[in-house]
Amino acid sequence: MDTTESARLFERASKVLVEGVSSASRGPAAFGTYPEYMRRAEGAYLWDVDGNRYIDWMLSFGALPLGHAHPRIVEVVRAEVANGTHFATALEVEVEVAEMLVELLPHADKVRFANTGTEAVMACIRLCRGLTGRRKIIKFEGHYHGWYDAVLINTNPQLPTALGHPQDPIRIPDSSGIVPESWRDTHVVPWNDPEALERAMAAHGHDAACVVTEGAMSNMGVIPPKPGFLQHIRELCDRYGALFYLDETVTGFRLAAGGAAELYGVRPDLTSYGKALGQGFPVAAIAGPDHVMEGLEWGKVLHFGSHNAPRLGLYAAKTMLEEMLADGGAGYRRLAEIGERMAERIRAAIRASNKHRAIVQGVGSMFQIFFTDREAIGDYRDFCAHVDRAKFRDFVLALHRQGVFMSPSNTLHSLSCLAHSDADIEATADAVGTVLDAL
């Protein structure tokens, strides 16, 4: 596969952009010598500047449940952009999408729109602290809640010896420039460990504003919660008077119409959404019951934003929801079916090759490949100690040369969209087999 033009673009970009890109996850740290520069996309496919076509399983990190350039999204955005891009005023479509979300989410009476997952997390944590008058936050190892200083700890893989004892994890900030005061009140607990959470809550629960968690760990590939673990969080939050904050930036409007909360049958106090909600546009949302959301009224807990409730993004969100919810939510069933079939075909390719020890973990439309001797990866410490991330990157970069596009970062994951066909699944499985045999 010829990527000469991408190489030339990277040389130009390196002179004017940090790492030649606008996010480290798109640059050489993940993609090796240089990334492929993409020019256009449609359905389940990407085309780079050299004209190469890829089956896209990265899908903007999960933001595209319908796939690229869905005809109805193109139609509504083309029509509405002629009426203006952004007003920073109250909007009719804002009301319409909020009504859809409140009808869809049993735990939500009110919604506040934002722009990004990180921004929504910042507002939610401020709201939890404002409502409870407490300072402390309980978060889990390996869970990523955006690049907000207070929660940007223990999200990157580390040497197992750096993590400390699971009963008293060492808190590790993931960036320079984060002052200790910003995470002083953030306490870290191993994921999927009910006893560890009980110990942490016994020590800090009466001072905790919230326990924040992803519905399924989505920053260490895909690690689902153990049966009953999310319900255990709910019970402990009730016992200690902390709020249960479910960060559904990744899982919301993807794992089910009601996200992980619906899939696992749990009722959080506060939820944030992003990625899939905007169908490729920067749209985020905060949702919860009246007694929680009223904390934002009249700026008691402040959340401003010139671009809150972005007009074109909300039209995209409304259209995405209409498409996915049609025929009794058939879009969500199909989305999960495609992801599960792709995961099973990759497992079959691994067995057929029989050259590498690897597993595939997934939840519905989300899946990830781990090169490991373990039967399963159950938490952050498993991932740090037992997953060969370097081999995974070599594997994915070789897949790119076969016309299959996944994220080279093992901490991320692959995802399905409604545009993926049976032929795409089989072509991907064939490419996986070819690469495994050659790796």
Return the CATH architecture of domain 4-69+329-438.
Answer: Alpha-Beta Complex (3.90)
* Start-end of H helices in 144-267: 180-183, 194-204, 229-240, 259-264
Say how far apart CA 13 and CA 160 lie, in whole Å: 36
Tell me, yes or no, if the two domains 4-69+329-438 and 71-322 fold the same way: no
Q: What is the mean pLDDT of each run of 10 residues along the chain (439 residues)?
A: 95 94 88 94 98 98 97 98 95 98 97 96 98 97 96 93 92 94 96 96 97 96 97 98 98 97 98 97 97 95 93 98 97 98 98 95 98 97 96 97 97 97 98 96
Strand partners, 405: 56
Global pTM?
A: 0.96
3-state SS class at 402? coil
Q: What is the pLDDT of residue 206?
A: 96
Q: Under the phi-then-psi rule, with left for phi > 0, alpha for psi from -120 to 50, and beta for the rest, what region is 330?
A: alpha
Domain boundaries, the chain: 4-69+329-438, 71-322
**Across the beta sheet with 110-114, what order do the strands follow?**
110-114, 284-288, 270-273, 243-248, 208-214, 136-140, 186-189
Q: What is the pLDDT of residue 25?
A: 86
* Start-end of H helices in 244-306: 259-264, 290-293
Q: What is the pLDDT of residue 385?
A: 96
Q: What is the pLDDT of residue 24?
A: 85
Which residues lie below 8 Å from residue 256, measured CB to CB, with a gap of 6+? 262, 263, 332, 364
Tokens for 388, please give them: 């060969």
8 A C-beta contact, residue 114 and residue 285: yes
Return the CATH architecture of domain 71-322.
Answer: 3-Layer(aba) Sandwich (3.40)
DSSP 118-151: HHHHHHHHHHHHHHH---EEEEETT----S-GGG
Q: What is the pLDDT of residue 100?
A: 98
Strand partners, 217: 223
Give, in order, the Cα–Cα distances in Å from 256 to each of 234, 262, 340: 20, 7, 14
3-state SS class at 323? helix
List, in sequence order, every beta strand (DSSP E) within 379-428. 404-405, 414-415
What's the start-to-end Cα distance of the chain, in Å?
17
Q: What is the pLDDT of residue 27?
A: 86
8 A C-beta contact, residue 409 and residue 387: no
Angle at 250 between CA 244 and CA 256, to 5 degrees: 85
Active site residues: 144, 247, 275
Give, in order, the Cα–Cα distances in Å from 309 to each of 103, 106, 347, 390, 436: 18, 22, 41, 40, 45
Say how far apart CA 204 and CA 195 lie, in whole Å: 14
The secondary structure element, H or E, covering residue 113 is strand 110-114
